[in-house]
């Protein structure tokens, strides 16, 4: 299966675009006319460049406003397309995309369109090219692939085929199911684009907000499955108009595009079920059925280690072990484990030098670590191996988009655990008292805006996570885009945050720490009132919540007075879902102006992250940043 992408999908000059597309692993490319227009060389120069890079030029596009015109206009249009055929010969491409007419004076007469498209097909036959007719979602009269197929089928000429584009079908909430009934050899070209659901003019939506498969909200696996069922065997080609991609480095964009096609093929294969039809589709090993946090690893120096350790100890974490060969310490509380890495000249050290105190690695418990690594590498993510001491475990790892590591850990029955293998464990029997923390509920990352969608793709491709819809959170100094990803069994939950504006806490953190990454860790507890009481007694400073918040909470949810008082007393935030599930959570103040911890208690199947409370938290953090606590002259709630 030829994997292709349109030049309009990545930034740069045409030469830069083609190089990035080739490097990413694509074997085909669509030449978008404007890119040729701006190119200081002939179409045959482009042909040579593409050939040198191993790229087939699978399509030239677009040709507009051909059908439904007066006889005079038809003659001009045929003249116009002949010049394009000449360009195509020079480019060495066979296929031309023609879009359904958008001109206001297009005549609404299918018979006329069929007659004129017939002449178009004959001209194409004379020139030895194949034309592909596409229904634009905002076409004047032809807007659906069914209508376009009626015309193409009626013309019944091998040089006029149907072109499909997932955006044009799915943006109209049209069903793609009839695609399977179209003979595959009559489909000349298939373009794939995803997009977030948006309530806006479809042309604007298409021109600015398309994204790679898996980054938006469209059901693309089903769309592509219908294409495969039709018998189509031509290129699958990404055509992505995206304002962000226009401003991003082309190599990273193209690499993500290629990954997104691989992931789409895998999901299409699942949607198809039948192995016969799915044969040419990418087929990696399945993502881990169960994944969870084994440990989080922070890059520290001696001073940062002291500060974090102090904080962890107040949260009743215990120092549980020392690495056998490295300056690495293990802390545990419940199933939550934190590793502090101060090993000189290591990966963590390099991370610390660049990013300061930061999350340099996450270790994920998976069913099969080797398969998980193989899968990640198959999607083009970079495997990583560090130094390993005698008898220590070799742990497979892959680099995340920010360069941090994701370790894959699976424990074998009867074998030493990773902690046993690599650490001299102290306090082996665990504390006699069980602390209030159960484990890690979720990890929240602060990202540069440009890497947000790359992370979505990484987490979907490597771990098979699902994504919630993105939400916008109001920080006092701008908006923050936020999206949660989670595994089917909720063993792994991550929240990605990126600032829309340059002055939010998220943006400042990202800038100050050179683009990475941890915003906060949320620990789960079964009794948050006990947890906050114990932690406050131990000197953990909790973020103060304004009294007005509780007045409003009462107006919204009509909570029992005693319960509301208890929330207020402990600076706890509260949310409730439509099924009555409840979320109680509290935040610590920030450490190193950078990250903070959250305690969460989920009740009755609550599955969110307390998004309605995010603005309250962001405003409280902004106050904390802008002045030391206690200097505002306003008393605490208590």
CB-neighbour burial class of residue 559 (10 A; exposed 0-12, middle 13-18, buried 19+): middle
Q: Please, what is the minimum distance in Å from the beta carbon of residue 558 to a copy of itself?
A: 9
Q: Is 514 annotated as a binding residue?
A: no
Tell me the C-alpha distance between 593 and 625, whole Å. 8
Tell me the C-alpha distance between 594 and 444, whole Å. 12
195 within 8 A of 218, measured Cβ to Cβ? yes
Q: Please, what is the minimum distance in Å from the beta carbon of residue 329 to a copy of itself?
A: 37
**Is 52 a residue that touches a copy of itself (CB under 8 A)?**
no
- Of 63 and 298, which CB lies nearer to a copy of itself in the complex structure? 63
478 within 8 A of 501, measured Cβ to Cβ? yes
Strand partners, 5: 29, 238
Tell me the C-alpha distance between 133 and 136, whole Å. 10
DSSP 534-576: HHHHTTPPBPP--HHHHHHHHHHH---HHHHHHHHHTT-EEEE
The sheet carrying 423-425 orders its strands as 383-384, 397-399, 405-409, 358-365, 292-299, 336-341, 328-333, 318-323, 423-425
**Is 45 a residue that touches a copy of itself (CB under 8 A)?**
yes
The one segment of 156-164, 291-299, 393-401, 619-627 that binds a copy of itself by CB under 8 A:
619-627
**Is 630 a residue that touches a copy of itself (CB under 8 A)?**
no
Q: Is 420 annotated as a binding residue?
A: no
Tell me the C-alpha distance between 444 and 293, whole Å. 13
Tell me the C-alpha distance between 232 and 251, whole Å. 29
The one segment of 10-18, 97-105, 159-167, 178-186 that binds a copy of itself by CB under 8 A:
10-18
Q: Is 194 annotated as a binding residue?
A: no
CA angle 472–264–130, rounded 5-degree value: 115
Q: Strands 518-525, 437-447: parallel, antiparallel or unpaired by DSSP?
A: antiparallel
Q: Please, what is the minimum distance in Å from the beta carbon of residue 61 to a copy of itself?
A: 14
By CB under 8 A, the count of residues binding a copy of itself is 58
**Is 38 a residue that touches a copy of itself (CB under 8 A)?**
yes
The one segment of 33-41, 100-108, 308-316, 588-596 that binds a copy of itself by CB under 8 A:
33-41
Q: Is 208 annotated as a binding residue?
A: no
The one segment of 126-134, 187-195, 292-300, 546-554 that binds a copy of itself by CB under 8 A:
546-554
**Is 252 a residue that touches a copy of itself (CB under 8 A)?**
no
Tell me the C-alpha distance between 297 and 347, whole Å. 12
**Is 319 a residue that touches a copy of itself (CB under 8 A)?**
no
Strand partners, 192: 238
Residue of 141, 157, 246, 319 that binds a copy of itself (CB under 8 A)? 246
Residue of 71, 83, 111, 638 that binds a copy of itself (CB under 8 A)? 83
Residue of 544, 568, 570, 585 that binds a copy of itself (CB under 8 A)? 544
Question: Quick one: tokens of 430?
Answer: 């665990």
Residue of 3, 5, 12, 134 that binds a copy of itself (CB under 8 A)? 12
- What is the H or E stretch that residue 378 is in? helix 369-378
228 within 8 A of 177, measured Cβ to Cβ? no
Q: Please, what is the minimum distance in Å from the beta carbon of residue 81 to a copy of itself?
A: 10
Question: Which of 225-257 are b and which e, b meaning 16 or more Cβ less than 10 Å from the residue's Cβ?
Answer: bbbbbbebebbbbbbbbbebbeebebbbbbbbb
Question: Quick one: tokens of 597?
Answer: 């911890």
**Is 39 a residue that touches a copy of itself (CB under 8 A)?**
yes
Q: Please, what is the minimum distance in Å from the beta carbon of residue 215 to a copy of itself?
A: 18
Q: Is 598 annotated as a binding residue?
A: yes
**Is 64 a residue that touches a copy of itself (CB under 8 A)?**
no
- Of 37 and 469, which CB lies nearer to a copy of itself in the complex structure? 37
- What is the H or E stretch that residue 506 is in? helix 505-512
**Is 41 a residue that touches a copy of itself (CB under 8 A)?**
yes
210 within 8 A of 188, measured Cβ to Cβ? no
410 within 8 A of 365, measured Cβ to Cβ? yes
The one segment of 183-191, 299-307, 596-604, 620-628 that binds a copy of itself by CB under 8 A:
620-628
- Phi then psi dihedrals of residue 52, to 5 deg: -60, -30
Q: Please, what is the minimum distance in Å from the beta carbon of residue 249 to a copy of itself?
A: 8
CA angle 406–407–410, rounded 5-degree value: 140
Q: Is 134 annotated as a binding residue?
A: yes
Residue of 47, 73, 80, 89 that binds a copy of itself (CB under 8 A)? 80
Strand partners, 499: 480
**Is 172 a residue that touches a copy of itself (CB under 8 A)?**
no
Q: Which residues, 475 to 504, sit near a copy of itself by CB under 8 A?
A: 476-479, 499-504
Residue of 551, 565, 603, 630 that binds a copy of itself (CB under 8 A)? 551
| C-alpha to C-alpha distances, 487 to 62, 178, 292, 370, 467, nearest whole angstrom | 40, 32, 9, 19, 9
CB-neighbour burial class of residue 632 (10 A; exposed 0-12, middle 13-18, buried 19+): exposed
Q: Please, what is the minimum distance in Å from the beta carbon of residue 41 to a copy of itself?
A: 4
Report CA 406 to chain centroid distance, whole Å.
16
Q: Which residues, 568 to 607, sit near a copy of itself by CB under 8 A?
A: none
**Is 561 a residue that touches a copy of itself (CB under 8 A)?**
no
The one segment of 106-114, 515-523, 560-568, 617-625 that binds a copy of itself by CB under 8 A:
617-625
The one segment of 358-366, 416-424, 472-480, 512-520 that binds a copy of itself by CB under 8 A:
472-480
- Of 37 and 428, which CB lies nearer to a copy of itself in the complex structure? 37
**Is 474 a residue that touches a copy of itself (CB under 8 A)?**
yes
26 within 8 A of 50, measured Cβ to Cβ? no
Q: Is 374 annotated as a binding residue?
A: no
**Is 548 a residue that touches a copy of itself (CB under 8 A)?**
yes
**Is 200 a residue that touches a copy of itself (CB under 8 A)?**
yes
Q: Please, what is the minimum distance in Å from the beta carbon of residue 202 to a copy of itself?
A: 9
Question: Quick one: tokens of 331?
Answer: 């802390």
Q: Please, what is the minimum distance in Å from the beta carbon of residue 201 to a copy of itself?
A: 4
Q: Which of 292, 291, 296 is nearest to 519 (CA)?
A: 296
Binding-site residue numbers for Mg(2+) are: 442, 520, 598
Q: Site residues (CB under 8 A) for a copy of itself?
A: 11-13, 16, 33-34, 36-43, 45, 80, 83, 87, 198-201, 203-204, 243-244, 246-249, 474, 476-479, 499-504, 544, 546-549, 551-552, 555, 615-616, 619-620, 622-623, 626, 632, 634
Binding-site residue numbers are: 134, 165, 191, 239, 442, 520, 598
């Amino acid at each position: 299966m030829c994997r292709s992408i349109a030049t309009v999908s990545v930034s740069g000059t045409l030469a830069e675009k083609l190089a990035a597309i080739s490097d990413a692993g694509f074997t085909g490319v669509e030449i978008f006319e404007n890119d040729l227009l701006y190119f200081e060389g002939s179409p045959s120069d482009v042909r040579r460049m593409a050939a040198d890079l191993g790229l087939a030029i699978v399509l030239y596009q677009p040709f507009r406003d051909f059908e439904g015109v007066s006889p005079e206009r038809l003659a001009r249009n045929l003249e116009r397309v002949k010049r394009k055929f000449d360009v195509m010969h020079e480019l060495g491409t066979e296929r031309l995309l023609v879009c359904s007419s958008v001109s206001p004076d297009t005549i609404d007469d299918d018979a006329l369109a069929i007659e004129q498209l017939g002449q178009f097909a004959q001209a194409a036959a004379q020139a030895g090219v194949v034309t592909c007719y596409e229904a634009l979602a905002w076409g004047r009269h032809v807007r659906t692939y069914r209508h376009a197929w009626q015309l193409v089928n009626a013309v019944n000429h091998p040089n006029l085929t149907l072109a499909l584009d997932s955006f044009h079908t799915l943006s109209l909430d049209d069903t793609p199911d009839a695609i399977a009934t179209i003979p595959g050899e009559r489909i000349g070209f298939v373009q794939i684009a995803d997009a977030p659901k948006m309530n806006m003019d479809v042309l604007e939506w298409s021109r600015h907000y398309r994204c790679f498969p898996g980054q938006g909200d469209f059901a693309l696996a089903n769309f592509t499955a219908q294409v495969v069922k039709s018998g189509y065997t031509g290129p699958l080609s990404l055509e992505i108009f995206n304002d962000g991609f226009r401003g991003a480095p082309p190599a990273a964009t193209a690499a993500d595009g290629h990954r997104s096609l691989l992931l789409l093929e895998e999901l299409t294969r699942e949607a198809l079920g039948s192995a016969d039809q799915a044969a040419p589709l990418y087929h990696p090993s399945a993502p881990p059925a169960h994944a969870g946090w084994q440990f989080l690893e922070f890059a520290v120096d001696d001073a940062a280690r002291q500060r974090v350790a102090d904080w962890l100890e107040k949260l009743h974490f215990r120092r549980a072990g020392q690495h056998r060969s490295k300056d690495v310490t293990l802390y545990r509380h419940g199933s939550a484990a934190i590793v502090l890495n101060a090993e000189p000249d290591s990966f963590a050290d390099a991370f610390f030098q660049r990013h300061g105190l930061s999350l340099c690695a996450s270790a994920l418990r998976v069913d099969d670590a080797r398969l998980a690594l193989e899968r990640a590498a198959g999607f083009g993510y970079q495997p990583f191996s560090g130094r390993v001491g005698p008898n220590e475990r070799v742990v497979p790892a892959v680099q995340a988009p920010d360069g941090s590591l994701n370790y894959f850990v699976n424990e074998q029955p009867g074998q030493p655990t990773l902690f046993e293998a690599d650490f001299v464990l102290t306090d082996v029997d665990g504390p006699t008292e069980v602390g209030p923390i159960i484990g890690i509920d979720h990890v929240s990352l602060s990202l540069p805006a440009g890497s947000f969608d790359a992370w979505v793709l990484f987490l979907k491709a490597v771990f098979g996570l699902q994504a919630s819809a993105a939400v916008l959170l109001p920080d006092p100094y701008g908006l923050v885009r936020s999206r949660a990803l989670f595994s089917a069994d909720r063993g792994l939950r991550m929240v990605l945050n990126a600032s829309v504006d340059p002055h939010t806490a998220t943006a400042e953190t990202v800038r100050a720490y050179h683009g990475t990454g941890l915003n906060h860790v949320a620990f789960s507890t079964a009794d948050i009132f006990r947890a906050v009481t114990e932690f406050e007694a131990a000197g953990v400073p909790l973020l103060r919540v304004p009294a007005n918040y509780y007045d409003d909470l009462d107006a919204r949810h009509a909570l029992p007075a005693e319960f509301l008082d208890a929330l207020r007393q402990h600076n706890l935030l509260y949310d409730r879902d439509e099924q009555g599930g409840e979320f109680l959570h509290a935040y610590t103040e920030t450490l190193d102006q950078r990250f903070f911890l959250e305690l969460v208690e989920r009740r009755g199947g609550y599955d969110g992250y307390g998004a309605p409370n995010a603005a309250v938290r962001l405003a409280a953090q902004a106050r904390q940043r802008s002045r030391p606590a206690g200097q505002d002259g306003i008393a605490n709630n208590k």
